[in-house]
Amino acid sequence: MVTIEKQRYMADLAVDLAPANARELVLRNPVIPASGCFGYGLEYSPVIDVQRLGAFVSKGITPEPRSGNPMPRITETPAGMLNAIGLQNPGIDKFIQKYPPTWENWDVPAIVNISAEAVEDYAMMARKLDDVPGIAAIEVNISCPNIHAGGFCFGWDARMSAEVTRAVRQATTLPIIVKLSPGAVDVMEIASAVEAAGADAVSLINTLVGMAIDIRTQRSKLANLTGGLSGPAVKPVAVRMVYQVASVVKIPVIGIGGISGLQDALEFFMAGASAIQLGTAVFSTPSVLTDLIDDLGIWLDSNGFDSLRDIVGIANPAMRGASMES
Amino acid sequence: MTALQRSPGPGARPREFRGEITAKLPVMGDSWLITFTAPQEILQSARPGQFVNVLARERAVYDPLLRRPFSVYDVSPDDGLMTILVRPYGRGGGSIVERNIGGEIDILGLLGNAFEVNPRSQRLLMVAGGVGAAPLFMLSRAAVMQGLSVTYLLGAMTADALLDASQFPQEVEYVVATEDGSAGYHGFVTDLVPDYLQWADQVFSCGPGPMFQSLRSVVLANRMGKRPGVQVSVERTMACGVGACLGCMVETKRGMKTSCVDGPVFDMDVVQW
């Protein structure tokens, strides 16, 4: 059945997230649910019109199946939440059998998020995904411990981040988005390194490592002790990092961190994001995703902008300078 | 009529909707039965044991961030109404009970599986503690309407924390236990269970974690083999409610299951206690 939906705005929301890649990653709009917050897309299909989204990112996939962390895995914090799910997933092989065949028939591009603890495992997964129908791009989660470097997080080190990116780049021609960790001392250095190593785009921020203690039991509220902080509480940190990264890279930046609606989304675009991901907000109000597409278009119309591109980096002097040069 | 067995077709899809609060009734000392309008397809497909996630804030503010799960207490498709049982505890329940009649309530639902009554079962035993009373109330009403025999055991600290007997249809045998002895049996509700295990074809339970532990030991010590079967509705901290975040897992003998989609109702013998 063909449904003809009347578009409620005129502005052009389309965005190209891999301009240098022949396989392209052109989205109809910039609104993307974030990895870990949208399952495999199927979970939300009864709740919202998933096909309207710009794209979606799958749960993090690892080389082998993982049963995840013990419970409790989540706890609410002021204007946020901590999670320590522990990358529960069926592993790359079962994943490929199970989900992409469904996605192949979907309009919405599917981005697969991958995590590993060794460079060669990232490359192995990228190689397996390279020609799987139904997959539009790979998002590389580098906020993982490197077992060959004493468990030091890949994403906190420019050389290790670049090494992962280069290995994935050599393993696939699919568009690659590298998801940056906010734990890095200098996120700009990491972003520049992964850009040089062949990333088509970067996304940021991943969650911030946090902790909450139950004063009754005198123990951490999470079985894993620490967890990733997300939600509105992290937004200012995320906007700052997006602004910094967008100032130094030429590849598209995808903004993530506490976006709950139009105002938040506009801040990220103005800081320099070409697209955005929403995570925690989807849990409480799944409709925020589809509402945001309309709200963005209507806002651009009523503020005299023809295209989303017109506001990307408008608050970022480094980007304004760059566009004047070109 | 509310179905007790799984229907062949899919139920109503879970969705966000806003209901208008039409009634608030104080129950169990400090709790409230909150009744609100809901879409017809949701009401007609609601089955005992299912739940809804309630936004305990306005959309423009951020605390408490996550929705709160509440089992459906009752539905009335004829009146277009759904009722939930809310305790004013914590950052969520407290703000929900403060809403006034005529105000709005922001719902995501229906969510979760349901209690499964075996078509051959004639006698059902309910074992409830605290707000665990809610899903078993709906199950009891539906069961007696279909001619089944129901005994409903409810435990509380004190007499005023019990559900009023007038809530129940006459056909339900309502038996109470209080820890201070101010009403009914003096002790834990699970102490009453052995007397009914011969009688019951199936047992359904909802309540706090320690109650499940003592229910389980009482059942294991007193029943023959695996009869009667026991279904428990568990509660976990939850984020999405639709099986996406994997935050609300229950460890079972068949692997990790989500309490929001695979549950909240599980066979007691399958849960890894």
Indicate yes or no: CB of B246 within 8 angstroms of CB of A85: yes
Specify the 3-state DSSP secondary structure of A75.
strand
Please answer whether residues A114 and A60 qualify as being in contact, where contact means their C-beta atoms are separated by less than 8 angstroms.
yes
Indicate yes or no: CB of A39 within 8 angstroms of CB of B242: yes
Indicate yes or no: CB of B67 within 8 angstroms of CB of A67: no
Q: Could you tell me which chain B residue has the CA closest to the CA of A88?
A: B246
DSSP state of B239: S
Please answer whether residues A213 and A82 qualify as being in contact, where contact means their C-beta atoms are separated by less than 8 angstroms.
no
Domains of chain A: 15-317 (3.20.20.70)
CATH of domain B15-111: 2.40.30.10
Following CA atoms A293, A296, A298, A299 in sequence, which dihedral angle do they give, to the nearest 10 degrees? 170
3-state helix, strand, coil in chain A (%, to 5): 35, 20, 45
Report, at the CATH architecture level, how domain B123-233 is classified. Answer: 3-Layer(aba) Sandwich (3.40)
- Measured CA to CA, the distance from residue A256 to residue B271 in angstroms comes to 37
Q: Which residue has the tokens 């056909």?
A: B171
pLDDT of B157 > 60? The answer is: yes
* pLDDT the model gives residue A325: 44
Q: Which is it for the CA torsion A313, A319, A320, A322, positive or negative?
A: negative
The residue of B13, B104, B249, B272 whose CB has the most chain A CBs within 10 angstroms, and thus the best one to mutate to test that interface, is B249
pLDDT of B89 > 90? The answer is: no
Identity of the amino acid at A46: P
* pLDDT the model gives residue A322: 56
Indicate yes or no: CB of B240 within 8 angstroms of CB of A282: yes
- Best CA proximity match to B52, nearest among B36, B65, B64: B36
Q: Could you tell me which chain B residue has the CA closest to the CA of A233?
A: B62
Q: How many CA atoms lie within 13 A of A189 on its CB side?
A: 10
- Measured CA to CA, the distance from residue A37 to residue A280 in angstroms comes to 7
Specify the 3-state DSSP secondary structure of A102.
helix
Provide the angle, in degrees to the nearest 10, between the axes of the packed helices A235-248 and A187-196: 50
* pLDDT the model gives residue B225: 86
Two structure tokens written together for B194: 């052995």
* pLDDT the model gives residue B92: 85
pLDDT tens-place string over residues B185-231: 999 999 999 999 999 999 999 999 999 999 999 999 998 888 899 99
Of the listed A31, A140, A144, A168, which one is catalytic? Answer: A144
pLDDT tens-place string over residues B26-38: 999 999 999 999 9
- Measured CA to CA, the distance from residue A192 to residue A212 in angstroms comes to 34
Indicate yes or no: CB of B14 within 8 angstroms of CB of A46: yes
* pLDDT the model gives residue B90: 80
Specify the 3-state DSSP secondary structure of A190.
helix
* pLDDT the model gives residue A4: 59
Q: Where are the alpha helices (DSSP H) in chain B?
A: 40-45, 90-97, 133-145, 194-197, 209-222
pLDDT of B239 > 60? The answer is: yes
| Catalytic (active site) residue A153 | no
Mean pLDDT of B112-138: 96
Residues on chain A touching B242 (C-beta within 8 angstroms): 39, 43-44, 46-47, 286
Please answer whether residues A58 and A110 qualify as being in contact, where contact means their C-beta atoms are separated by less than 8 angstroms.
yes
- Measured CA to CA, the distance from residue A118 to residue A125 in angstroms comes to 11
Q: For chain B, give the mean pLDDT.
A: 94
The residue of B53, B106, B242 whose CB has the most chain A CBs within 10 angstroms, and thus the best one to mutate to test that interface, is B242
Size of interface A-B (CB pairs under 8 A): 98
Sequence spans of domains, chain B:
15-111, 123-233
B71 backbone φψ class: left, alpha, beta (φ>0; ψ -120 to 50): beta
Q: How close is the nearest chain B Cα to the Cα of A321, in Å?
A: 35
- Best CA proximity match to B228, nearest among B69, B118, B144: B118
Please answer whether residues A103 and A24 qualify as being in contact, where contact means their C-beta atoms are separated by less than 8 angstroms.
no
pLDDT tens-place string over residues B2-31: 778 766 555 678 999 999 999 999 999 999
Mean pLDDT of B42-46: 95
Please answer whether residues B207 and B155 qualify as being in contact, where contact means their C-beta atoms are separated by less than 8 angstroms.
yes
With a CB cutoff of 8 Å and minimum separation 6, the contacts of B176 are B153, B154, B155, B156, B162, B183, B184, B185, B189
Q: Which residue has the tokens 């200012």?
A: A236
* pLDDT the model gives residue A326: 41
Q: How close is the nearest chain A Cα to the Cα of B81, in Å?
A: 21
Two structure tokens written together for A157: 């080190």
Residues on chain A touching B260 (C-beta within 8 angstroms): none
Each of the 326 residues of chain A gets a pLDDT tens digit; together they read 455 567 889 999 999 999 999 999 999 999 999 999 999 999 999 999 999 999 999 999 999 999 999 999 999 999 999 999 999 999 999 999 999 999 999 999 999 999 999 999 999 999 999 999 999 999 999 998 888 888 889 999 999 999 999 999 999 999 999 999 999 999 999 999 999 999 999 999 999 999 999 999 999 999 999 999 999 999 999 999 999 999 999 999 999 999 999 999 999 999 999 999 999 999 999 999 999 999 999 999 999 999 999 999 999 999 875 554 44
- Best CA proximity match to A280, nearest among A230, A229, A318, A210: A230
- Measured CA to CA, the distance from residue A297 to residue A11 in angstroms comes to 5
Q: Residue B15: which of A47, A59, A233 has the nearest Cβ?
A: A47
